[in-house]
Chains A and B, each alone.
Chain A
């Protein structure tokens, strides 16, 4: 049996688009699947169906060799028997239990000695030492998030399900925990599924990404591929980042980072990155095209390249320029005519440093 996860479910709601999601991907020891989509796209419902907290009317959910749901043969495995770790969006920490009590809650099957040992182990892993006796309401948002994750991980689940794990945090904490979460997920060597609508999280945390909209899965692939090669206009609209390429930060001067992408040098905002391996992300509407040899402007990046493709979409044209990497720009038809752009034309693409987003990736 191939190590994969298969989801093929239908669930209808009154007054909302039905969910008809089909998804299949290969699962390895630490594969992180990102369920990506705008709010109301059905990604949380899919996650809850995988957890066994939501029952689709029709369909099948299979994880590795185990069938969790098969409406045709009447298989309905309860959430208790799925051996999953689930972290809801608001963490749902038990208010009557301490930090240690929350973490130990799922360890009821262990003898008390083994249980305490496991609690200590997990407390250390999540750096919660000294907080064992605290009640959830005494903790900061970041601490609550770590306790919720620790509680989900403590019983050694087979699959970890995280619903918007970082959305309840303030921006600086989110950035810090995003990095920690990535390291942790690799360390745990545990397949996980993460629901998010944040594309930086999708890129940083995901190995596979499924883009959902209106209850349907539109595309499944490596995050970078999904961003740079969206399967259709809906996906392009949802992900909203047309250029995603791998780069190396070679210098970081007060937050203005110099990035090398396949031989081309770019300036971008590097305040969010620490390591050198990054994804360079640029929105097509942030790219200006000018004729080669024109005057000096304020944009930090001037990349000359060859037009390799032009895709008209209404009054706009998406132009792909090869400047060492494929860069997408969106311009109007009028601008295209004035610039006299054809496939093979040489143009200069100008991008402000602030429009070059750098997202950390595993080296």
Chain B
């Protein structure tokens, strides 16, 4: 088994779901509680990676962070090397690609929180930020776990985006799914089978965790 690829994959998935926990929460909060009439535009953008082929998404990310774009130029000016075909570039692409897998469960959990509880918290002097951490987060715990775990699992299995943005650099951007593809190309079925089984087991375990914790989401009290 290619342990380096496994390490890169787990590092990528952990960082992706970690970043999404930080970045996804405010986005989900805004999507849930904003009364802006055009917010569906943002909702659709967030959901886009669900339907877009990974190659299309990967292509645009590649162009966006490439040396011909202001973002790409800025990055290479500051850091000293370009963003595409590096682990950081791959991380950025993974975050965008898994965004709906984190934001949607977060938003669904926030939506389940009774508004009257939030209002009661405000009248007790708790600011919106305090209300978020003291009340909304504990009440949406199951949804937050779901979002983090789903984005982790989704990143484990990504292929198209990795190929487009990351390339196939050992120790940098070669992930498990690419490794399996390479093994099959090289007709090394035994190696591919072992890695595939590992990915299957981990993914299944992760989903078991999601569905087990989600049982609780529907017994939130008081009922609406």
Q: Which residues of A pack against B, CB within 8 Å?
A: 51-53, 78-80, 82-86, 88, 90-96, 105-106, 108-109, 136-137, 151-152, 155
Interface stretch of the complex, out of B82-90, B92-100, B111-119, B192-200: B111-119
Residue B44 interfacial (CB < 8 Å)? no
Q: A80 contacts which of B116, B126, B134, B222 (Cβ < 8 Å)?
A: B126
Report the bound CA distance from A94 to B130 in whole Å: 14
Assess the A155–B138 pair: CB atoms within 8 A.
no
Q: B130 contacts which of A52, A82, A108 (Cβ < 8 Å)?
A: A108
Report the bound CA distance from A115 to B223 in whole Å: 30
Report the bound CA distance from A83 to B125 in whole Å: 7
Report the bound CA distance from A92 to B132 in whole Å: 16
Residues of A near B138 (CB, < 8 A) are 96
Q: DSSP majority for the A interface?
A: loop
Report the bound CA distance from A90 to B120 in whole Å: 11
Report the bound CA distance from A93 to B135 in whole Å: 11
For B116, B123, B124, B130, the residue with the greatest tally of chain A CB atoms inside 10 Å of its CB is B123
Q: Can you list 9 A-B contacts with CB-CB less than 8 angstroms, sorted by A residue number?
A: A51-B119, A80-B123, A86-B119, A92-B120, A94-B135, A95-B221, A105-B121, A105-B124, A109-B125
Report the bound CA distance from A5 to B37 in whole Å: 35
Report the bound CA distance from A152 to B130 in whole Å: 18
Contacts A78-B122, A105-B126, A155-B124 aside, 20 further interface pairs with beta carbons under 8 A come to A51-B119, A53-B122, A80-B123, A80-B125, A82-B123, A86-B123, A88-B116, A88-B120, A90-B222, A94-B117, A95-B117, A95-B220, A95-B222, A96-B135, A96-B139, A105-B121, A106-B124, A108-B126, A109-B125, A136-B222
Assess the B125–A93 pair: CB atoms within 8 A.
no
Residue B185 interfacial (CB < 8 Å)? no
Report the bound CA distance from A160 to B144 in whole Å: 35
Q: Report the number of A-B residue pairs with Cβ-Cβ less than 8 Å.
A: 69
Determine how close the nearest CB of chain A comes to the CB of B126; give it in whole angstroms.
7
Report the bound CA distance from A136 to B120 in whole Å: 15
Q: DSSP majority for the B interface?
A: helix
Residues of B near A136 (CB, < 8 A) are 221-222
Residue B127 interfacial (CB < 8 Å)? yes
Residues of B near A85 (CB, < 8 A) are 123
Assess the B122–A92 pair: CB atoms within 8 A.
no
User: Given that A136-B221, A137-B221 are known contacts, is A92 also in contact with B126, CB under 8 Å in the complex?
Assistant: no
Report the bound CA distance from A105 to B134 in whole Å: 9
Residues of B near A152 (CB, < 8 A) are 123-124
Determine how close the nearest CB of chain B comes to the CB of A109; give it in whole angstroms.
7
Q: A79 contacts which of B119, B135, B220 (Cβ < 8 Å)?
A: B119
Residues of A near B120 (CB, < 8 A) are 86, 88, 92, 94, 151
Determine how close the nearest CB of chain A comes to the CB of B134; give it in whole angstroms.
8
> Considering only CB atoms, which chain B residue lies closest to A82 in the complex?
B123
Residues of A near B135 (CB, < 8 A) are 94, 96
Residues of A near B125 (CB, < 8 A) are 80, 83, 106, 108-109, 155
Report the bound CA distance from A86 to B222 in whole Å: 18
Residues of A near B126 (CB, < 8 A) are 80, 105-106, 108
Report the bound CA distance from A80 to B129 in whole Å: 12
Assess the A84–B123 pair: CB atoms within 8 A.
yes
- CB neighbors of A among B12-68 (8 A): none
Report the bound CA distance from A119 to B134 in whole Å: 18
> Considering only CB atoms, which chain B residue lies closest to A79 in the complex?
B122
Assess the A95–B139 pair: CB atoms within 8 A.
yes
Report the bound CA distance from A52 to B122 in whole Å: 9
Report the bound CA distance from A105 to B121 in whole Å: 8
Assess the B127–A80 pair: CB atoms within 8 A.
yes
Q: B222 contacts which of A51, A53, A93, A155 (Cβ < 8 Å)?
A: A93
Residues of A near B116 (CB, < 8 A) are 88, 90, 92
Assess the B121–A88 pair: CB atoms within 8 A.
no
Closest 7 CB pairs of A and B: A106-B124, A86-B123, A92-B120, A92-B116, A79-B122, A95-B221, A96-B138
Report the bound CA distance from A91 to B116 in whole Å: 9
For A78, A93, A94, A152, the residue with the greatest tally of chain B CB atoms inside 10 Å of its CB is A94
> Considering only CB atoms, which chain B residue lies closest to A54 in the complex?
B119
Determine how close the nearest CB of chain A comes to the CB of B219; give it in whole angstroms.
10
Residues of A near B119 (CB, < 8 A) are 51, 53, 79, 86, 88, 92
Residues of A near B124 (CB, < 8 A) are 105-106, 151-152, 155
> Considering only CB atoms, which chain B residue lies closest to A83 in the complex?
B125
Residues of B near A79 (CB, < 8 A) are 119, 122-123
Q: A92 contacts which of B114, B130, B134, B139 (Cβ < 8 Å)?
A: B114
Residues of B near A96 (CB, < 8 A) are 135, 138-139
Report the bound CA distance from A73 to B117 in whole Å: 31
Report the bound CA distance from A86 to B116 in whole Å: 11
Report the bound CA distance from A106 to B122 in whole Å: 9
Report the bound CA distance from A85 to B221 in whole Å: 22
Residues of B near A51 (CB, < 8 A) are 119, 123
